[in-house]
Chain A
Amino acid sequence: MRTILAGLPGLAAATATAPAMGTGEVWLFWILAPIAVLAALGMLVAKKAVHSALLLALVMFCLAVFYIAEQAPFLGIVQIVVYTGAVMMLFLFVLMLVGVDSSDSLVETLRGQRLAGLLAGAGFAALLMGGIGSAALGTRAGLGPQSASRNVVDIATLLFTRYTWAFEITSALLITAALGTMVLAHRERTAPRPTQRELSEQRFRSGGQLTPLPAPGVFARHNGVHVPGLLPDGTPSELSINKVLAARGDIRSGQELDTPGIAASTEEEK
C-alpha cells in the first residue's frame, strides 16, 4: 500500500523516510478518495446543473477533510467556509435564479473555446504531473513535522510578512471585480424612490381600493381560489379572483360547483 500512496503529493510523507501514516489516516484516505474521484466524474456527466454543483461541493468537502487529516485544520476549515459555504452557495443561488438546465442551446457563443479549453486542460495536466513527479522523486520541501496547533500562527506570520504584497494585490483584484459588478448592475433612478408613506398617501388620494382585496371563496360556499367570494348582497366579487385565472377561463361560480343534493337542500330551506 505504501508504494501506491507514495506517488500522491500530500501522502509522500508516508514513505520510508518520513513517519508512516496512521491506520486511521489510511482508512480515511481509501474511503474518501474514491468518493472524491467519483463525485468529480459525476460532476462532469451529470445532466442537471444543480447536481453538478452539488457534486463539486462534495469534492471540495472531501478535499477539506484531507487537509484536516494532513494536520492543516485551518486550511481545511477555510476551504469549507469559503468554497463549499460561500462560493458554491452563490453558484447554486444563480443556478436556481436563472434556472439553467440541459435544454439550453448548444450553439457555442465563444469562438474557439473548445481548443482553448483543451490547451488549458493539457497545460494544467502537465503542470500537475510535474509537481507530483518532483514531489515524489526529488527532494521535498515543507514536509517536515509540523504541529497542527501552530498552523494558524504560521499562516498568519507568512501572510503578514512574506506574502503581504500578494495578499493586498489579491484583495485589490477582488474589490475591482466587485466594483465592476456593481457598475454593471447599477441602474440610475430618474426620480427618487417613493417611500411606503408616500405610496400609502397616494393610494388614499386616488381613492381606489383602500382595504386589502377580498379573498376568493371565503363568503361563497367554496373556498377554492377559482371561486369568487360573494359580497354581502350575494353578487360575486370580481376583485376577489386572480386575473390570470380569469384570463385562462378557470373561474367557476359557487352554484356551478354545488353538488345536486346540497343545492336541493338549500333551495328547500329558502
Chain B
Amino acid sequence: MSVHTLGRLPLAYQPAGTFGTDPWWLVVLKAVGIFVFLVVMTLLAIWWERRVVARMQHRIGPNRVGPQGLLQSLADGIKLALKEDIVPRAADKVVFVLAPVLAAVPAFMAYAVMPFGPQVSIFGHRTMLQLTDLPVAVLYVIAVTSIGVYGIVLAGWSSGSTYPLLGALRSSAQVISYEIAMGLSFVAVFLFAGSMSTSQIVNQQTNLWFAIPLLPSFLIYATAMVGETNRAPFDLPEAEGELVGGFHTEYSSLKFALFFLAEYINMVTVSTLATTLFLGGWRAPWPLSLVGVDPAHPEGLLNTGWWPVLWFIAKINIFIFVFIWLRGTLPRLRYDQFMRIGWKILIPVSLLWILAVAAIRALTLDITLDRRTLFVWVGGVLAVVFVVSLAWDTLAERRGAAGAQDVPAAGFDPMAGGYPVPPLPGQSLPAYADLAVSPVSARAGSAEPDGTRDPVEGDDA
C-alpha cells in the first residue's frame, strides 16, 4: 500500500469527542461507576443464568432470596467469602495468592475504554460517558485480557496439583489460539471505521451497524469470544467430567470468588466489545433511532442524553442471554475438535475475509472503481465458480453411484459380531427371503436358529 492510498482512506484515528479534560472528582466518579456496574452486572448475570437455564431444563431456579430470587447471588457471595480459605501444602504460596488477583484486576481494567453513551451532563459538566479513550483502545482491551490469562495459567501451576495444571495448559493454549481469530476479526472493523478508538468506531456506525457489512467478522468474533471466556461449549479448561474444576480446583473462599467474578466480568466485557464493534455500541436500534430526528437534532431524541445507556445495557444482555442459551443447549466439544475449529476454520476464513475487505476498500478508494461494477464482476466470478462446482459434484455423484452398484450386497448375518443386529439397507431377513409368511411368524422363526449363541461371548476375557 502506498502513502498515497493511506492518505485517501477515511482515517479518523483520533477518539471522537474530548477526553482528558475531566476534573479529578469526575474521573473518580466514572471509575467507581464502572466498578459498581460490573459487580452488579455479575450478580445479575449469575441470577439470570440460573433462572434461564432452569427454565430451559423445566425447573424454576432460585426464587427464595429476594423478589424472584434476585438476591440469591448476593447471599451466595457472602457465603463464599465466609468459607475456609485453604492453601494446599504443595502450593507455591506467593503465586497462589497472586493468581486470582491477576485474573480479576485486568477484567475490571478492560472496561476503562468502553463507551456507555454520548456526551452527557454530570453535575453541570459536559463529559463523555466513558472513562477514557485511546487511539488504540481496542488493542488496549486485547492487551489487558491477555494479562488476565496469566491469572488462570498461574493458578493452575501454583496449585501443585495435576488437574489444575492440565486445566491451565488447556486454557493457555485455548486463549492464545482464539485470540488470533479474535484479533483478525477486528481488522475488518478497523479498515471500515478507519480507527481503533472505541468512541470513533461507534461514531462510524451512525448509518449502518458493522454487523451487517462485516457479517463474517461478526460471526468469527461471536465464536471466538465464547472460546476466549472459557464458556460452554468451549469450557475445556474447567471440564468437570475430566478435570474436576480445572485451574481452580484447589481454590476456595474469596480466592475462588475472584475467579468467579473474573469469568462473569469477562463475559460482560466481550459482550460489550461485540456491541461496540458490531452492533452500533450505545446507538438505538433502527426504528427507535428515527424518533425525534429533525435538521436541528440529526441524532434523534433516543440517541442523546442518558437514553443510550439503556440500549447499551440491553444489547449486552442479549449477548449474555446467548452465552446462557449456548450453555443450556450444546454439549462440550472434544479438545481436538475445538482446536480444529480455531486453527483450521476461524483463522483461515478470517484471513481470506480481511483480504477481500482490504481489496474492496482499495479498489473503491484507490482505483475509484464503481462499487456496482465491482460487485457485478465479483458476482459473475462467484457464479461461474458455483456452476463449475455444481457440475463437478454432479459428475462425482454419478461416478460414486456407478461405483456403489458394483458392491455386492453381503449376506445378512443376524448375529454379526456376536450381537443381534437389524438388516442393513439392501439386506433382507432370511425369514422373509425363504418363506412368504406373515411378519409375526417370520419374526418368531428368525429368532430361533441363532438364539443358542451366547450374545456376550468373549466378555469374560
Contacts and interface: CB of A to CB of B under 8 A. Distances in A.
A50 interface: yes
A93 B150 CA distance: 11
B89 to A, nearest CB: 17
Contacts of A85: 142-143, 146-147, 149, 179
A48 to B, nearest CB: 7
Contact of A96 (B11, B135, B165, B179): B165
Contacts of B376: none
Contacts of B143: 64, 77, 80-81, 84-85
A205 B457 CA distance: 11
B458 A207 contact: yes
The A interface is mostly helix, strand or loop, or mixed, namely: helix
A199 interface: no
A17 interface: no
Contact of B135 (A73, A84, A86, A157): A73
Contact of A157 (B6, B144, B153): B6
Contacts of B173: 93
B226 interface: no
Interface residues of B, number: 42
Interface string B143-160: 110110110011011000
Contact of B6 (A50, A93, A160, A205): A160
A73 B136 contact: yes
Contacts of B15: 149
A265 to B, nearest CB: 33
B135 A148 contact: yes
Nearest to A159: B1
A105 interface: no
Contacts of A150: 13
A259 interface: no
B310 interface: no
Contacts of B326: none
A77 B136 contact: yes
B31 interface: no
A102 interface: no
A81 B172 contact: no
A81 B458 contact: no
B169 A96 contact: yes
Interface residues of A, number: 38
Contacts of A103: none
A79 B390 CA distance: 48
A222 to B, nearest CB: 20
A219 interface: no
A74 interface: yes
B225 to A, nearest CB: 17
A96 B461 contact: no
Contacts of A93: 153, 169, 172-173
B198 to A, nearest CB: 14
Contacts of B3: 157, 160-161
Contacts of A152: 13, 135-136, 196
A77 B109 CA distance: 14
Interface string B410-442: 000000011100000000000000000000000
A235 to B, nearest CB: 14
Among all A-B residue pairs, the 8 with the closest Cβ atoms: A85-B146, A207-B458, A80-B143, A149-B14, A77-B139, A81-B143, A149-B135, A77-B143
8 contacts: A51-B95, A77-B140, A89-B153, A89-B176, A93-B172, A96-B169, A161-B3, A207-B459
Interface of A: 48, 50-51, 54, 57, 61, 64, 73-74, 77-78, 80-81, 84-86, 89-90, 92-93, 96-97, 148-153, 156-157, 160-161, 204-209
Given A50-B157, A206-B458, 20 more contacts: A73-B136, A74-B136, A77-B136, A77-B143, A80-B144, A81-B142, A81-B143, A81-B146, A85-B142, A85-B143, A96-B157, A96-B168, A148-B135, A149-B13, A157-B3, A161-B3, A204-B417, A207-B417, A207-B457, A207-B459
